[in-house]
Amino acid sequence: MTLNADRLPDTAEGKFFRALLKQWPQGLWVVTPEGRVLGFHYHRAKGTESAAEGAKRWVTDTLGMLSDAAKAAGPAPARVVKAKPGTLADRGRGVGAEGGVRLAVSVIGLRNGRQEGPPVVDSIRLGAKEWTALAPPGGARVGTEWSVPEAIVRHFTPALSPMTDPIFGPKPGDVTVAKVTATVARAGDGVLVVRYAGTWESAHDRDGDPKYPIRTTATGEGVGVFDATTGKAVAMAWVLSGTFRAGPATEKARPTGAVIEWLADP
C-alpha cells in the first residue's frame, strides 16, 4: 500500500506506521504485521550518474530488496488469484455502459526543452452528458461554433500537473480559468472533424497551507472525429503546453506538456 505520512489517522494503524517511519521517513518497506522490517529501500541520487542511470538503478535496487525480503519472510502458501479484466482496459478507449468515457492522459515536466523524469499517467472521466457536450450539435456544419460548459472543462485538471503525488495536482474546484471553444472544421467522407481550443489556470495550496502555493496554466488544441450520421465520437486527441509552479511567485515555473487521447472500440 501507499500512504502520505502527513495524513496518518490517530488509530492503531496510524500508530503502527508512525513507529515504522521513525526509522526513516520515506521509502518502500516490507514489514510483518508485528512490525518487523524484512526489507527497506530508499533511493538516493548519485551525482556521478545520469537521470536515466539513476532510474535504472532505482528499479534494480528495489527488485533486489524485494527478493531479499521474500527470502527473509520464509516459505508461504501459494495464493490462488483469479484473473480479472484489466482495470485500465477502458482507459482511452471505448464508451462505458452508461455512455461515459475515460480519456487517457499523459503529462511531463520539461527542462531545457526536454522531458524531465517519467510521465504522469492519469485519466479524465466524463459522464454521458459531459461527453455529449464535446460533440457537434444536431445540424452542425462547417463553421458551427460552440463553447463547452465550464463545469465540464474543469474536469481536465489531470492534464495540468507533472507530479504524481495527488497533493500537487489541482482538483476541478481549484480551477480559476477553464475555457474550451469548439468549431466544426471539416465535413466529408461520412465524418465531422471538430477543432477545440482550450485555456486553463488553477490555484491551490498544498495541504491547504498558504506557505506552499501551487499554480498551473495550460493552453492547448484538440481534434475530435465524429460520425456524421450518428453523431457518435470516433476518435479524439489533445496536445497541451503549460506551466507548473510549486512555491512562491519568486519560484520559476516549470514548463509542462500533456497529451489526451481516446479511440472508439473497433
**DSSP bridge pairs for 187:** 192
pLDDT in tens, 181-197: 999 999 999 999 999 99
Distance of alpha carbon 31 from alpha carbon 3, whole angstroms: 14
Q: What is the mean pLDDT of residues 127-150?
A: 95
Return the number of other C-beta atoms located less than 10 Å from residue 121's C-beta. Answer: 13
Q: Report whether pLDDT(109) > 80.
A: yes
Burial (Cβ within 10 Å: 0-12, 13-18, ≥19) of residue 129: exposed
Q: Which of 253, 251, 237 is nearest to 109 (CA)?
A: 253
Distance of alpha carbon 20 from alpha carbon 33, whole angstroms: 12
Distance of alpha carbon 99 from alpha carbon 117, whole angstroms: 35
pLDDT in tens, 65-97: 999 999 999 988 888 887 776 667 889 999 998
Q: How many CA atoms lie less than 13 Å away from 186 in the CB half-sphere?
A: 9
Distance of alpha carbon 129 from alpha carbon 138, whole angstroms: 15
Q: For residue 10, give the 3-state DSSP assignment.
A: coil
The pTM assigned to this predicted structure is 0.76
